[in-house]
Each structure stands twice: as structure tokens, then as C-alpha cells.
Amino acid sequence: MKKNPMNYTLLCDFYELTMANGYFQTGMSSQICYFDVFFRTVPDGGGFAIAAGLEQVIEYIENLRFDEEDIAFLRSKNTFREDFLSYLRDFRFTGDIWAVPEGTPIFPGEPFMTVRAPAIEAQFIETYLLLTLNHQSLIATKANRIVRAAGGRPVSEFGSRRAQGSDGAVLGARAAYIAGCAGTACTLADQMYGSPAGGTMAHSWIQMFPDEYTAFKTYCQLYPHSATLLVDTYNVLKSGVPNAIRAFKEVLLPQGITKCAIRLDSGDLTYLSRKARKMLDAAGLTECSIVASNSLDEYIIRDLLLQGAKIDSFGVGERLITSKSEPVFGGVYKLAAVEDQAGNIIPKIKISENPSKITNPHFKKVYRIFENETGKAMADLICVHDEVIDPTQPLELFDPEATWKRKTVTDFTAVELLVPIFQEGRLVYQSPSITEMRAYCAAQIDLQWDEVKRFENPHNYYVDLSQKLWDIKHELLKEAGHI
Ligand SMILES: Nc1ncnc2c1ncn2[C@@H]1O[C@H](COP(=O)(O)OP(=O)(O)OP(=O)(O)O)[C@@H](O)[C@H]1O
Ligand SMILES: O=P(O)(O)OC[C@H]1O[C@H](OP(=O)(O)OP(=O)(O)O)[C@H](O)[C@@H]1O
Ligand SMILES: O=C(O)c1cccnc1
């Protein structure tokens, strides 16, 4: 795989550097801190999001270096002390990171990455971690909605040309593949990340020839095993489909090739696909499939299928790669605890008038609780790091807001979501291949109830706190005079 050669060390908000300089000068640089990455609301009102971007976080951490050019640049800002700039020369990440594997369904309020590191290091990486996890989780979440709307029909990601910049295109294509897209039009995403690249043709190909038929026939001759003919340049039913049928019959059938496709890219896709299907079948081309594109998203795809469209696969660009309907994934990076000199973990909370912005303090772990009878996920339970759930004992879950709503579960399996990625600065995690991530993502989504997967008004999946964590949180709220 081609490596991304860019050093992103200075891709940080400037305040990370002023705080780092400040910790350095006040002797706080080595105080151990715990930060959580979590998000507050699921884009598009969905029931869950999909975590993605961990592999790029790993690359970033491993390449974290201030080179001489960076240091000279920072010196030119006349903000940082010389001993701090010298310290940056040997700056490396020496801490620990835990994260959920890419492709995991995640829910609001729960950490999907936790960083434990000396203050400067833990604070400094905030910007890049968030931008990477926010972008790819956003696109993975959107792509997965679109893939689910297509109900098993392949969805190709066609968005590079309308993506917001190169990373938007390439890493967006990567995230879309993890989330279930069948492939991408983006060649570099294939070369770099293994999201399979493929495609059809543009209207310009047809316009370049004296007539549509010659354009189709030439393409079939060049690519007999992968000819998808774009049939809407002039008139879909009067010329596009008849010319495609003629080219397929003259070039492919004599070679014994029956698999072929047409692409519809405008007009009423239900009407046109039904008519085209009839024409193809009547010509004996029952194995010719119909691809549809044109500003599609999960809602239009769902509508088309409800209307009885005869579409076998979809190409989806702008609304997927930009997550047009909801272009922000609000992942945040919040301090959850610090260690004192003796290594005791001191939980920290951030209080807000807005209850949804009050953080969950402490160094935590997250369990996903599966009901053994159905295999389905019932709830996630956020615990203090040293708590262990014993599945042989009944487990009491309760709503952290309405604490009188309680339920005792038995016959369950508890799976820890956060796995070690770095330990004392050393990478201890081997990222699965992208196809493994994609398969894992699909399997994990299968473990969610259909109610959680609804596009509108999904069931609110339970993200609960253990009694111990709830008590600690409420103690801190009391100490702060909030309750
Ligand atoms: N049967 C259908 N039901 C719901 N939405 C549809 C249906 N057929 C097409 N659409 C959607 O309607 C929108 C039509 O957009 P628009 O009017 O810009 O395109 P068009 O006129 O078909 O073609 P062009 O791309 O040439 O402008 C697209 O988002 C398309 O996906
Ligand atoms: O609509 P999207 O979901 O982004 O899918 C990708 C679109 O990109 C191409 O269009 P092109 O750039 O040639 O412009 P067009 O909109 O005029 O077809 C293709 O023909 C699709 O229509
Ligand atoms: O291959 C295609 O059909 C394609 C690629 C990019 C954008 N639109 C269509």
C-alpha cells in the first residue's frame, strides 16, 4: 500500500502549543492525564454511528515529530521559550491509547477512544485525533445509512469530484468502504487503502463519438467484461437503451458474455428503470443489470425501492462524501482524570448548564451487553476502569437520568469495547485489513435491533453508567455545588 508521506505534527490548533509551552514552564508537563473522545448526537437523527479513522490516528502518532523547519517556524512566532523549543526536538508520544476497532457501532456519550499520557502529549494530539475520527466516523455513518437503504444492492462511492479536498475524497472513500460500500470511483483510495476502485463512463465519452451506438460498441469492444453503458446522454428509452441492447448483442453475446449493465443518471429513476428492465428482458438480456445515480441518498434510495424501481446497484457521490444532510460529527476530547504524584487517579468533570454537556469523569471502560438468547446488543455500560462485570451474576442496569428505571439482566455476555492501541508509546495493535473491518462492521450492525437501525425516530439505545461511576459523578457534581 502507498504510504501517506505527510508529517501532520503542526496540524494542531495553536492553543495546543501555547498550553504545551505553559505546562512546560509551570512544571506540569509530565502530569498524567486521561482524555476521552466521545460524541453527543448521532448525525441525521440516526440510532448509532460507526467509528472510523483509527488507522490514520495510529500513523499520526507514530510520525509525530517536530523537525528543524517546524521548530524554526515556531520560533518565528515569538511566543515560545527556547528551552520549550529544544524540548520539542525530542518530542514523542509516550502514553497509552485505547480505542474501539474501526467499524464498531458507537453511541452518544460513551468514550470510543481514551488517551492516557503526560499533559503536554495528551493535550497536543487533540486536534488531529478529532479531525480524523470526526471526518471518517461521519462518512462511515452516512455511508452505512445509504448502504442499509439499498437493502443488499451494492453501493459504489462516486464522490471524489465533489469531496471537500483530497483527504475528504480518499479517506472518505476508505470510511465508506469500511461502512459497507462495495467500492469507490477513487483510484487513490484503492491504491492507498484497498477500497476497490471501479466505474462506468461519463457523458463525454458518448459525446466524443459521432453517435451513441458507436460509443457503446467501442466501449464494449475495449472492456467486454465490465461494460456499464451510460444511457441518458440523449434519450434513455428512445436511444440509450436500444443502442445499448444493440451493442451488447453485437459485441458481447457472440463472445458468450451475458453479464453487462446500463447506468441511468437522470429523470424519474423508477419509471426509467422499470421500462428499461422490460426492454432488456424482452431482448433476452436478463443478466444486464441497472445502475442508478444522480444526487442519491438514503431517503431517495428507500423511496425508489418502495416505488418498485428495478435498480440493481447504486452510485452515490456528493450526498455521501460530504454527508450533505449533516456535515458535522461532533466528537469532542475531554479531560476525564489526572494522576497525582503517588499515581492515584483523580476523576475530573466538566460541568455545564446544559446537562447533555456534563462529562462522565474518571478513567473508564465500556462494556457492550449482549442478550444470550437473541445475541442482540441490549445496552452499553460505562464503568470505572477497575470494575469487572461477572456474567454469571445478575447485572442491574439503570437509566443514569431517571435512576428509578432499573432492570436486572441475567444470561448475558459482556464485551469490552475499548482495546489497547498504544502502551507507553509503543504500538500494540495490529489494524485488521480493510475487508476485515468491513466484515466486522456488518457483523456488529447485525447485532443491533432493527428498532435502533430505523432512519427516523430510532429506539434510544441505552448507554448506562455503573453504580460506582454514577456515584463518583454525583459526588463531583455535589462538590461543585451543581446539585
Ligand atoms: N422516482 C423517484 N423518486 C424520488 N426521487 C427521484 C426519483 N427519480 C429521481 N429522483 C431524484 O430526483 C432528483 C432529480 O434531480 P434533477 O431534477 O436535478 O435531475 P434530473 O432532471 O433528473 O437530471 P439532471 O441531472 O440532468 O439535471 C435526484 O436527486 C434524483 O435522484
Ligand atoms: O450525483 P452524485 O451522487 O454526486 O453522483 C455522481 C455524479 O457524478 C457524475 O456526474 P457529473 O459530475 O458528470 O455531473 P452531472 O451532475 O451533470 O451528472 C455522475 O454522472 C453522477 O451523476
Ligand atoms: O464511474 C462512474 O460511473 C462515476 C464516477 C464518478 C462520478 N460519477 C460516476
Mean pLDDT for each consecutive 10-residue tract of the chain (483 residues)? Answer: 74 97 94 97 98 98 96 97 97 98 98 98 98 98 98 98 98 98 98 97 98 98 98 98 98 98 98 98 98 98 98 98 97 98 96 89 98 97 98 96 95 98 98 98 98 96 97 95 81
Using an 8 Å Cβ cutoff, are 354 and 193 in contact?
no
The bridge status of strand 260-264 relative to strand 288-292 is parallel
Q: How far is the CA of 317 from the centre of ligand 2 (A)?
A: 7
Decide: residue 306, CB within 10 A, 0-12 exposed, 13-18 middle, 19+ buried. exposed
Atom of ligand 1 nearest to the CA of 268: 8
Q: Is the CB of 241 under 6 A from ligand 2?
A: no
Instruction: Dig out the grid coordinates for 170 from the structure.
Output: 480518499
The bridge status of strand 377-384 relative to strand 462-465 is parallel
Q: How far is the CA of 140 from the centre of ligand 2 (A)?
A: 21
Atom of ligand 1 nearest to the CA of 294: 31
Q: Is the CB of 316 under 6 A from ligand 1?
A: no
The contacts found for 267-274 with CB under 8 angstroms, 24 or more apart, are 267/232, 267/236, 269/294, 269/304, 269/309, 269/311, 270/304, 270/307, 270/308, 270/309, 272/232, 272/236, 272/237, 273/304, 273/309, 273/310, 273/311, 274/308, 274/309, 274/310
Q: How far is the CA of 267 from the centre of ligand 1 (A)?
A: 5
Query: Is the backbone of residue 53 left (phi > 0), alpha (psi -120 to 50) or beta?
Result: left
Helix (H) and strand (E) counts in the chain: 17, 21
Residue of 117, 116, 119 whose CA lies nearest to 363? 116
The C-alpha cell 436478463 sits at 286
* Rounded distance between C-alpha atoms, residue 224 and residue 217, angstroms: 10
* Rounded distance between C-alpha atoms, residue 116 and residue 363, angstroms: 9
ipTM of the complex: 0.95
Give the number of residues written for the chain: 483
What is the identity of the amino acid at 284?
A: G
Q: How far is the CA of 337 from the centre of ligand 2 (A)?
A: 48
* Rounded distance between C-alpha atoms, residue 467 and residue 272, angstroms: 58
Q: How far is the CA of 265 from the centre of ligand 3 (A)?
A: 10
- Give the ligand at the shortest distance from the Cα of 300: 1
Q: How far is the CA of 202 from the centre of ligand 2 (A)?
A: 9
Residue of 468, 345, 368 whose CA lies nearest to 419? 368
Using an 8 Å Cβ cutoff, are 233 and 207 in contact?
yes
Handedness of CA 250, 251, 253, 255 (dihedral sign): positive
Q: Is the CB of 200 under 6 A from ligand 3?
A: yes
Instruction: Dig out the grid coordinates for 151 from the structure.
Output: 437493502
pLDDT of residue 352: 87
E-assigned strand segments in 259-303? 260-264, 288-292
Of the CA atoms within 13 Å of residue 259, those in its CB half-sphere come to 4
The distance from CA 306 to its chain's CA centroid, rounded to whole angstroms, is 27
Instruction: Dig out the grid coordinates for 85 from the structure.
Output: 523549543
What is the identity of the amino acid at 352?
A: S
Question: Probe ligand 3: pick from 290, 293, 296, 316, max atoms within 8 Å of CB?
Answer: 293
Q: Is the CB of 162 under 6 A from ligand 2?
A: yes
Q: Is the CB of 167 under 6 A from ligand 1?
A: no
* Rounded distance between C-alpha atoms, residue 210 and residue 229, angstroms: 16
Atom of ligand 1 nearest to the CA of 296: 31
Q: Which helix (H) or strand (E) holds 132?
A: helix 126-149
Decide: residue 136, CB within 10 A, 0-12 exposed, 13-18 middle, 19+ buried. buried
DSSP state letters, 353-393: SSGGGPPPPSSEEEEEEEETTT--EEEEEEEETT----TTS
Q: How far is the CA of 404 from the centre of ligand 1 (A)?
A: 50
